[in-house]
Amino acid sequence: MEIFAIANQKGGCGKTTTATNLAAALALNGKKTLLVDLDPQAHASLGLGVEKEIGIYDCLSKISKNKCSLGDIIVNIGPNFDLAPSNIMLSTLDQELSDEIGRESRLFDILKEAAGPYDLCLIDCPPNLGLLTVNAIRAADSLIIPVEASRFSVDGVKRLVEIVDLVRERLNHPVDYRVLVNNFDSRLRHSFKILNKIKETFGAKVFNTIVHINVKIKEAQSMAQTIFTFDKYSRGSKDYFSLSREIISGEEAIVDKISQQMKKIVQKKAREFAPVTFEFSTEGVNSVFVVGDFNNWTLNDDAKLDKVDGVWKKRLNLKPGAYKYRLVVDGKWQEDPGNPNAEKNPFGELDSLLSVKQ
Ligand SMILES: Nc1ncnc2c1ncn2[C@@H]1O[C@H](COP(=O)(O)OP(=O)(O)O)[C@@H](O)[C@H]1O
Ligand SMILES: [Mg+2]
């Protein structure tokens, strides 16, 4: 399970919007996705129409009277899309765990146990850099940092990246991060100016996908829906679908690279061998084997010929070289009658000769 934390201490930059709609897009792509609402304000849960007394607090807390495991709180939102909801109780966790050893790894421990059924997990962080956000960074493989094209502050993101560095050093957990430009208004020159500044500052860390300002996004939230069920032809749907493809194709690119390497190795190996077909045709025979230098004269299933249209055949891939071999027909050893090249062996019988060229 790959885990993404959607974090930025700045409120209103689009964390919750991204968490819910990206989770829905990933699920649409067939990825089994878990969305963890880690904000005591529970905007992601409420935005999906989920209001529960039991939530992620009861998994993270050690003293909750409803103490339970992640599986007990999961709410199914749609195909491939599950939610671990939150509620206001989560705001007490910071204080409750203040003396606990390993308090930064509570979420990491819980998600490790729940990894089984999910391909991907998104964590919606609260708008601060407290214990909950540190837990999310500790649990995540990668951070998605939404920034607004209208009100972007480099310093805010730099503070967050400092925390990422701290988690790497103190907890020995490397986390990558990517920046997502949100609320982009293509009618404003100002938006383009800020976009350039973001790209100058973060370079390749910026997602190619940009989320445009789109009123349908707000409307969907007020109707407790994702943008895909609310209006799948909206600009917002297109943008979040494109973001999901960018995230998934990142994964596919790695798999592709590995399979290309494998292909090259197999092709190289294949060039070292040449295919040779042994054939034998006589009526009333039950089994034929071919044994020789190339298989250490071993009589096993790999040496057995198959009967195809009345002819016994075996194709072997052999390295170039000179070989001696014999056939074993119904248990009796003999030379290959189809091969005129043969020489006497020390027992006075004939070994067939084979020369394999590249
Ligand atoms: N691309 C967008 N277009 C229109 N409204 C947006 C967009 N992104 C976010 N919003 C709105 O901005 C507000 C704050 O977004 P939200 O995702 O709740 O931010 P955060 O979780 O970072 O506090 C919400 O009302 C949301 O509907
Ligand atoms: Mg939020």
35-75 per-position pLDDT tens digit: 999 999 999 999 999 999 999 999 999 889 999 999 999 99
Domain boundaries, the chain: 2-263, 274-356
What pLDDT sits at residue 152? 74
- 227 touches ligand 1 (CB under 6 Å): no
What pLDDT sits at residue 254? 58
- 149 touches ligand 1 (CB under 6 Å): no
- 14 touches ligand 1 (CB under 6 Å): yes
Q: What's the pLDDT tens digit per position in 102-118?
A: 899 999 999 988 777 89
Determine the topology of domain 2-263 in CATH: Rossmann fold (3.40.50)
**From CA 265, how far away is CA 228, in angstroms rounded?**
43
Mutate to test the pocket of ligand 1, among 9, 17, 45, 223 (most ligand atoms within 8 A of CB): 17
Backbone angles phi, psi at 112, to 5 degrees: -60, -40
User: Picking from 17-21, 165-169, 227-231, which range would have the lowest pLDDT averaged per residue?
Assistant: 165-169
The average pLDDT across 135-140 equals 95
User: Picking from 37-41, 110-114, 143-147, 234-238, which range would have the lowest pLDDT averaged per residue?
Assistant: 110-114
Q: What's the pLDDT tens digit per position in 281-313?
A: 988 999 999 999 999 999 888 999 999 989 999
Q: Which residues contact 21 (CB under 8 A, 6 or more apart)?
A: 217, 220, 226, 227, 228, 236, 240
Residue 232 has pLDDT above 80, yes or no: yes
Residue 256 has pLDDT above 60, yes or no: no
Separation of first and last alpha carbons in the chain: 46
Q: How big is the chain, counted in residues?
A: 358
What pLDDT sits at residue 229? 95
CA distances from 75 to 52, 78, 121, 157, 343 (A): 10, 9, 14, 32, 77
* pLDDT-above-90 percentage for the chain: 72
Residue 129 has pLDDT above 60, yes or no: yes
Pick the closest to residue 291 from 344, 341, 356, 354 (CA basis). Answer: 354
In this structure, is the dihedral angle defined by the CA atoms of residues 54, 55, 60 and 61, taken in order, positive or negative? negative
- 155: number of Cβ within 10 Å: 7
Looking at per-residue pLDDT, the higher value among 351 and 256 belongs to 351
Q: 3-state class of 173 per DSSP? A: coil
Question: Confidence band (pLDDT; 50, 70, 90) for 250?
Answer: confident
DSSP E strands in 287-349: the ranges are: 288-292, 306-308, 311-318, 321-329, 332-334, 342-344
Residue 253 has pLDDT above 70, yes or no: no
Q: Which residues contact 296 (CB under 8 A, 6 or more apart)?
A: none
In whole numbers, what is the pLDDT of the chain averaged over residues? 91
User: Picking from 70-74, 197-201, 257-261, 301-305, which range would have the lowest pLDDT averaged per residue?
Assistant: 257-261
What pLDDT sits at residue 331? 94
Q: Which residues contact 26 (CB under 8 A, 6 or more apart)?
A: 33, 80, 119, 120, 122, 244, 247, 248
Residue 158 has pLDDT above 90, yes or no: no
Which atom of ligand 1 lies nearest, measured to the CA of 213?
Answer: 3
* pLDDT-above-70 percentage for the chain: 97
Pick the closest to residue 190 from 223, 162, 213 (CA basis). Answer: 213
Question: Confidence band (pLDDT; 50, 70, 90) for 251?
Answer: low
Question: Confidence band (pLDDT; 50, 70, 90) for 168?
Answer: confident
Question: Confidence band (pLDDT; 50, 70, 90) for 101?
Answer: confident
Residue 7 CA: which ligand is closest? 1
Domain spanning 274-356: which CATH class is it, in words?
mainly beta
> Which H or E run includes 281?
none
Q: Are 350 and 342 in contact (CB under 8 A)?
A: yes
- 133 touches ligand 1 (CB under 6 Å): no
- 237 touches ligand 1 (CB under 6 Å): no
Taking only Cα atoms into account, the Rg of the chain, rounded to an integer number of angstroms, comes to 32
